[in-house]
């Protein structure tokens, strides 16, 4: 399975899914649908997943061109993205994110849905910047942040749109470890090989046990977040 923007490669039971739109890896409806197809393929292959981006960027979040136009396409993009967090959290095999650099907004929520997150050392920033751009933090997004961040970092990320540099992101819980850029994919592949040795039945059941409440809250919150998006759009169109 090879696509211009979402690429899939399977080797030794490990599926590498790479997002590369040639720019900032904006999560458009088309890219999100490609990610769903890639994870469906990985599940059919019984594969451990490495999800990664392109040089110096994992993802800048939702496609703002689609968002700013509003309408049904924007709502569908939000629905696909928010629901995908639960899809990744519930994936029955280990998921590793190899974060190549900058990561913002929906890119952060996607990253934090994985089982293990490797960050890249460098002059990069990680931020759930919704409040900074005039959005109330969506419930789904808050749930994914709470799932991983330390309590103090969670408060700052949600209410203050804090930009975390790589070291701060590691201490906040955004990353499990950081490596130099040249070591990112070799490190992810080494972890994937090690995780392949876990008992798959125990991994799947343990993951479901500790994430059941979070996944349920995401699925419950999703329609509420879509209503909020509609109301926010209406408010902005009135200029109030």
Closest CA to 126 of 177, 170, 169, 184: 169
For residue 92, pLDDT over 90 is answered with yes
Report the mean per-residue pLDDT for the chain.
95
Question: Which one is predicted more confidently, 175 or 239?
Answer: 175
Predicted TM-score of the model (pTM): 0.94
CB-CB contact of 5 with 40 (8 Å): no
Task: Tell whether domain 6-195 is in CATH 3.90.226.10.
Answer: yes
Closest CA to 108 of 57, 68, 64: 57
Q: Average pLDDT of 18-47?
A: 97
Per-residue confidence at 239, pLDDT binned at 50, 70, 90? low
CA distances from 35 to 15, 20, 79, 98, 186 (A): 12, 12, 14, 15, 22
Tell me how far apart the alpha carbons of residues 193 and 67 are, in angstroms, rounded to a whole number: 38
DSSP per-residue codes, 34-68: HHHHHHHHHHHHT-EEEEE-BTEEEE-EE-HHHHH
For residue 235, pLDDT over 80 is answered with no
């Amino acid at each position: 399975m090879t696509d211009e923007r979402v690429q899939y490669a399977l080797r030794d039971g490990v599926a590498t899914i790479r997002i590369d739109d040639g720019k900032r890896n904006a999560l458009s409806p088309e890219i999100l649908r490609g990610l769903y197809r890639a994870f469906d393929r990985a599940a059919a292959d019984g594969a451990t997943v490495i999800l990664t981006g392109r040089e110096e960027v994992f993802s800048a979040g939702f496609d703002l061109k689609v968002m700013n136009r509003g309408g049904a396409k924007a709502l569908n993009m939000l629905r696909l993205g928010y629901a995908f967090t639960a899809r990744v959290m519930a994936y029955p095999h280990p998921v590793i994110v190899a974060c190549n650099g900058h990561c913002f907004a929906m890119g952060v929520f996607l990253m934090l849905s994985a089982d293990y997150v490797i960050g890249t050392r460098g002059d990069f920033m990680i931020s759930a910047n919704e409040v900074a751009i005039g959005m109330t933090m969506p419930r789904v997004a808050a749930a994914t942040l709470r799932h991983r961040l330390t309590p103090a970092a969670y408060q700052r990320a949600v209410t203050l749109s804090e930009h975390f540099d790589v070291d701060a992101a590691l201490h906040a819980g955004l990353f499990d470890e950081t490596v130099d850029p040249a070591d990112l994919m070799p490190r992810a592949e080494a972890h994937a090989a090690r995780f392949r040795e876990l008992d798959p039945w125990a991994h799947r059941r343990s993951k479901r046990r500790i994430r059941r409440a979070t996944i349920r809250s995401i699925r419950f919150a999703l329609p509420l977040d879509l209503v909020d998006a509609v109301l926010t759009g209406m408010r902005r169109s009135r200029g109030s």
